[in-house]
Amino acid sequence: MTASLILTLNPAVQYVLRLGDTCLIAGQRLAEWSGRGPVLEEDIALSNMALDLIGQARALLTHAGKLEGAGHDEDQLAFLRDERDFLNPTLVELPRGDFAITVLRNAILATFLKQLWIRLQGSSDSELAGIAGKAVKEARYHQQHAADWVARLGDGTDESRRRMERALRDLWLYVAELFDTDAVDEAAAASGLGPRWSDVQAAWTAEMDQILEGGKLSAPKTGAFRSDGKRGRHSEHMGYILAEMQHLQRSFPGGVW
Amino acid sequence: MNLVAPPEPDTARLEQVWAVLDSVLDPEVPAVSVRDLGIVRDVVATGDGGIEIVLTPTYSGCPATEVIERDVLEAVHAAGLGPARVRLQRAPAWTTDWISEAGRQKMNAYGIAPPGPVLDQGESLVRVIPRLACPRCGSKRTERLSAFGSTACKALYRCIACQEPFEHFKPI
């Protein structure tokens, strides 16, 4: 018996795990705001968005488990995989930072996921299409919320603007990873499972420019640095988030509520 | 010779199940039944003497989904209409346009401003937020405090006329 799952990966499983892990880890990070929001309304809003993302992750991980065909369920995939087997882009695992980091990351992510969900509604995989049909409506609300805050903070006080500019500089390093394409994307595009992530780059850029413009901000230039979380090579922050998320299930294997 | 008659499609039983579902309330909005909310998509006989109730979840992460599933089964079994099982159907995705007129009125009487029709706003980033009438005093002098309320399906508003806060069930 091994303590962690041994996965049987193929491109379709990897494609769905990338989506599921993105939602799961982003949801985990947002949930850290529960009880810590700057005002009650935002505490509730961020917790609600975390709940949507974790709900989406549950459906996606369940489906990834079925596609894998090794009998792994959503809980096993969330709690018993090692760091290298998580396929989320590095962007979502970065620490939640201040409120500027949180709302800017939400804007980047909600815009990205919304564009993916729009296209995934036409997936050749009917379960994935069904998940997308539900999630796209949720992502629109998330995007709206984040865009409102980017405008308020970017075009707010000197301090809020300074923080938004810093968040933009720090997070933009991790954006390029969202749009690089590999064999997993090519297989998904060929089978009709879903778009290459790079296929949504133009639509994402157009919407992000509009969101940033609302806060009188503009996108920095992309440098040479490339993160690589979606192929399992994560930042130093990933181990800590998994330690917190998986600790109970690792300490009490098979424990249920 | 087959002495057992094939089972008749028992429409009376199916109608009784629908009637029972009228009394199963949403745990988060306990003024409105699951049928009013439009989350019961179908009730069918399964051919083995059972009943299958097709439910659709409201939001992906709605924690009420599992409670609703349990409440529905308990109510149907308590009414002697079982055996029954629930099937969750994700597509087509639930929309607030499926909430019945009666459900909207009950919601308003309970103090939650019901959703207006889901407007097709394309993917425009500038969303139109229609002005709502306060469910307590009816004034349209209201403002949104937060896009997210006590649950993901609701937003928080306040009435400037009567000064009371209220919730709004968001169109989705």
Mean pLDDT value across residues A1-14: 86
Would you say residue B106 lies in a domain? Answer: no
CA A35/CA A139 separation, integer angstroms = 23
B148 to A129: CB separation less than 8 angstroms, yes or no:
no
Q: Does A125 touch chain B (CB under 8 A)?
A: no
Would you say residue B105 lies in a domain? Answer: no
Query: Do B87 and B123 fall within a single domain?
Result: no
Helices A237-251 and A11-31 pack at an angle, to 10 degrees, of 90
Last residue of a domain, one of B94, B127, B148: B94
Could you tell me whether strands B51-55 and B84-88 are parallel, antiparallel, or unpaired per DSSP bridges? parallel
A143 to B90: CB separation less than 8 angstroms, yes or no:
no
Query: Do B122 and B147 fall within a single domain?
Result: yes
Angle at CA A146, nearest 5°, toward A92 and B118? Answer: 115
Is the pLDDT score of B2 beyond 70?
A: no
Mean pLDDT value across residues A52-64: 97
Q: Where are the domains of chain A?
A: 11-227+234-251
Q: Which domain holds residue B65?
A: 11-94
Give the number of other Cβ atoms within 10 Å of residue A102's Cβ.
Answer: 23
Query: Do B89 and B16 fall within a single domain?
Result: yes
pLDDT digits (tens, 9 = 90+) for B27-45: 988 999 999 999 999 999 9
pLDDT digits (tens, 9 = 90+) for A127-176: 999 999 999 999 999 999 999 999 999 999 999 999 999 999 999 999 99
Query: Do B115 and B82 fall within a single domain?
Result: no
Cis peptide before B92 (omega within 30 of 0): yes
Query: Do B48 and B84 fall within a single domain?
Result: yes
Task: Note the ipTM here.
Answer: 0.86
B91: which chain A residues are within 8 Å (Cβ-Cβ)?
126, 129-130, 133
Find all residues with CB under 8 Å of A232, minimum gap 6, and list them. Answer: A83, A84, A85, A86, A87
3-state secondary structure at position B37: coil
Least Cα separation, residue B150 to chain A (angstroms): 7
pLDDT digits (tens, 9 = 90+) for B43-71: 999 988 999 999 998 888 888 888 999 99
Would you say residue B50 lies in a domain? Answer: yes
B88: which chain A residues are within 8 Å (Cβ-Cβ)?
none
Can you give the pLDDT at residue A179? 97
Would you say residue B19 lies in a domain? Answer: yes
Query: Do B61 and B130 fall within a single domain?
Result: no
Element (H, E) at A12: helix A11-31
Query: Do B72 and B138 fall within a single domain?
Result: no
The domain total for chain B is 2
Which of 177-236 (A) contact B at CB < 8 A?
A: 207, 210-211
Query: Do B88 and B121 fall within a single domain?
Result: no
- CATH node for A11-227+234-251: 1.20.1260.10
Lowest mean pLDDT among A55-69, A182-196, B5-19, B76-90: B5-19
